[in-house]
Structure 1
């Protein structure tokens, strides 16, 4: 194995419930009486894209909504919540990153969320993980197509100078798993609180805790 590619901010720290809270606060801010419960939100996460979820919900309810404006408010609230929350990295993440770097493996974050969200998470977990130590951080500004398109991973592999067969991706949602698979990567599903009920049939494996030796076993080169 030559590189581990973390595929979303929620593979580092589980932010899924903060995301849902941010959506609900944004709805209230825009005068909408929507409240997404956890079960409903979990079902929505089968597809990628917060802005698209807002637009689809508006269509299904017949509401006239500026999805872009609501999503921008949601993003601002989410970043504020990240700054206030006592976030801890997910099980095995710190140990895996540390062990990977000690073994000479590259570590990257390959997401298609906004740069502002990435920076906000980086600040929230800075006492345990420094994003400055990562070999690469990919965000929405660097690619044309969001996941489940494989562009972000293709871009990352080229930037790292690594073949897909020697790298492993870690993803917490179906769109991310699909994106990694399209790029030819082995991908370990690492579900968050709201995607645990999803069927990750495209994933190479599914784990609730990360370990370097385990991830190494899914690539063509240990």
Structure 2
């Protein structure tokens, strides 16, 4: 029986990932340098990637501008884009439905606590969560399962009693490794990635109610155990 849901933040709750992608690409284009998309995609859902976009671009430009100046340019564009950004379609309905269904609600993010909580408060959804765990709380972020294992302990549930909602491969791998059911809801940046280990895939959380989704997951699980 499902007792809890755990949501990712960047790209799933609020699509910051597409905004970073667009911001970086604009600055790379400005300086006539091809944006290394594959390297960027490998960093989605984790902060442990080797790709350093500002240093990469600065090196391509022989150090002028330096990486810090390029970072400031990208961040200015990013914040302009984010000022007009809405929560991803369906996430608010899922949070409200989880409360009505009596489910515990967690958040597991590879970003910092200050980053995540500032947005949760700005969008008025901070109070929905029973636990919020970020990179500040663990030694290893996604795809390592540590964040999800910590969320399970905080919520007082087992992996098979919780559903994780993710938009990236790193996040999905982390959730599955921790024993949760994995629902993937790709965004504009991650929709082309080769998701194969998910239990369910949605183009949008508005496509299916949370109650129906949980019912489908529980039915599929029961069917497998009966075989």
Asked if TM exceeds 0.5, the reply is yes
Q: Secondary structure at the match of 2:50?
A: helix
Q: Distance in 2 between matches of 1:78 and 1:142?
A: 29
**1:110 is matched with which residue?**
108
1:146-170 per-position Cα deviation (integer Å, ceiling 9, x unaligned):
1100000001101111111010000
Task: State the shift of 1:51 in Å.
Answer: 5.9
* SS of match in other structure, 2:107: strand
**Could you say which structure has the larger radius of gyration?**
2
Look up the SS of the partner of 1:9 in the other structure: coil
2:88 to 90, 94, 101: 90
Question: Take 2:9 and 2:154, find their aligned partners in 1: how far apart are those partners?
Answer: 18
Q: In the TM superposition, what are the counterparts of 1:5-16 in structure 2 within 5 Å?
A: 5-16=6-17
The answer to whether structure 1 residue 141 and structure 2 residue 136 are counterparts is yes
Q: Unaligned regions of 5+ residues in structure 2, if any?
A: 223-227
Q: 2:19 maps to what in 1? A: 18
Measure, in 2, the Cα distance between the counterparts of 1:140 and 1:72. 21
Counterpart CA distance in 2 for 1:78 and 1:132 is 29
Q: 1:209 aligns with which of 188, 204, 212?
A: 204
Q: Contact between 1:168 and 1:215, CA under 8 Å: does it hold in 2?
A: no
Counterpart CA distance in 1 for 2:55 and 2:71 is 16
Instruction: Note closer, same or farther for the CA distance 1:145–1:62 as it changes in structure 2 (3 Å cut).
Output: same
User: What is the alpha-carbon distance in structure 2 between the residues aligned to residue 77 and residue 115 of structure 1?
Assistant: 21
Structure 1 match to 2:152: 157
Structure 1 contact 24–34 (Cα < 8 Å) conserved: no
Distance 1:124 1:115 in 2: 14
User: Against the structure 1 CA distance between its residues 5 and 73, is the aligned structure 2 distance closer, same or farther, given a 3 Å change threshold?
Assistant: farther
Please state if 1:45 is matched with 2:41. Answer: yes
Cα deviation per residue 1:22-50 (whole Å; 9 max; x = unaligned)?
4457879xxx76463xxx53663244337
SS at match of 2:97: helix
CA RMSD of aligned residues (A): 3.5
Give the structure 2 partner of residue 186 of structure 1.
Answer: 181
Give the count of matched residue pairs: 210
Gaps of 5+ in 1: none
Measured against aligned partners, the alpha-carbon deviations of 1:88-138 in whole angstroms (never above 9, x if no partner) come to: 222221111101101110111110112232133224422xxx212211111
1:168-192 Cα distance to aligned partner (Å, 9 max, x none)? 0000001000100110111011101
SS of aligned partner of 2:197: coil
- CA contact under 8 A between 2:39 and 2:51: conserved in structure 1? no
The answer as to whether partners of 1:5 and 1:107 remain within 8 angstroms in 2 is yes
TM value normalised by structure 2: 0.76
CA distance in 2 between counterparts of 1:101 and 1:151 reads 25
